[in-house]
Homo-oligomer: A and B are copies of this chain.
Amino acid sequence: MEKEIHILKEKLARACRMLEMMGLIDHSGHISGRIPESRTFFIHPQQLSRTEVTPDAMAEVTLKGEWVGGKMSPPSESPIHAAVYQARPDVNCVVHIHPHYAILPSIAGIDLVPVCQHGAIFGRVVPVHADSEKITDFEQAHRLARALGTSRAVIMKGHGAVIAESTVEAGFVASFHLEENARLFVQASILGKPMALSEEERERASANTYRPSSIQKAWSYFTEKGRKASIFWD
């Protein structure tokens, strides 16, 4: 169990720095992971630069939002993570980012739909939480979790996105798939109305391109890339 805990913290720290390398996290944004057989999760500290996050730096927070472990305090937006873990027993990783392309449709008041294989995993339309406010209390966080529902991601209007997944690796991969699909959606709109994938296309694409082996392949690629760019601590 101790080893499992350590692996979780290490994956979170790697994912955080990789998301930063990819421009999906900057001075803000965070990724958390549910601690197995526990009512708590790990998240990196509020004030620590996302390029400096290490496994040992993780804060431990309960699903009620109480800070119970680690030397540095968790982000004020921790209720987002806690509320999603409360609402979704299937979720073990929550990512909150401010992805440029993914929030553009919410600014223009239109639906973001899947237009490519990697977008298929987000369903017919990516749901939107209509309030652009920074979320720091549970009342707001529960509303956000309701907007997320059973989806893999929810957009916060003109603000950001929350991604909910079963593993850290999948949370990481789904995060850039969301942005990749949005970038295609927005830029195809220069040419005309983008054609959404049909239900059948979505089902086939999800089954074929989001397997554990695909997720592992993407994780390995970015880990290797990060290593070459010396973004890690080891």
> Interface residues, chain A, CB within 8 Å of chain B?
26-28, 46-47, 49-52, 100-101, 103-105, 107-110, 115-117, 132-134, 136, 158-159, 183-195, 197, 201, 204-205, 208-209, 213-214, 216-218, 220-222, 224-225, 228
Contacts and interface: CB of A to CB of B under 8 A. Distances in A.
27 contacts: A28-B214, A28-B217, A28-B218, A46-B217, A47-B213, A47-B217, A47-B220, A49-B220, A49-B221, A49-B225, A51-B221, A51-B224, A51-B228, A101-B187, A104-B184, A104-B187, A105-B191, A107-B115, A108-B189, A108-B195, A109-B192, A110-B191, A117-B134, A117-B159, A133-B205, A134-B208, A134-B209
> How many subunits of this chain does the assembly comprise?
4
Contacts of A225: 49, 51
A142 B101 CA distance: 35
Contacts of A197: 132, 158
A47 B192 CA distance: 37
Given A46-B217, A116-B158, A195 B109 contact: yes
A225 B47 CA distance: 14
Given A28-B217, A47-B216, A117-B134, 11 more contacts: A27-B220, A50-B221, A51-B224, A51-B228, A101-B187, A107-B188, A107-B191, A107-B195, A108-B191, A115-B158, A189-B190
Contact of A49 (B103, B209, B224): B224
Nearest to A156: B117
B186 A108 contact: no
B27 A218 contact: yes
B104 A132 contact: no
Nearest to A223: B49
A187 B185 CA distance: 12
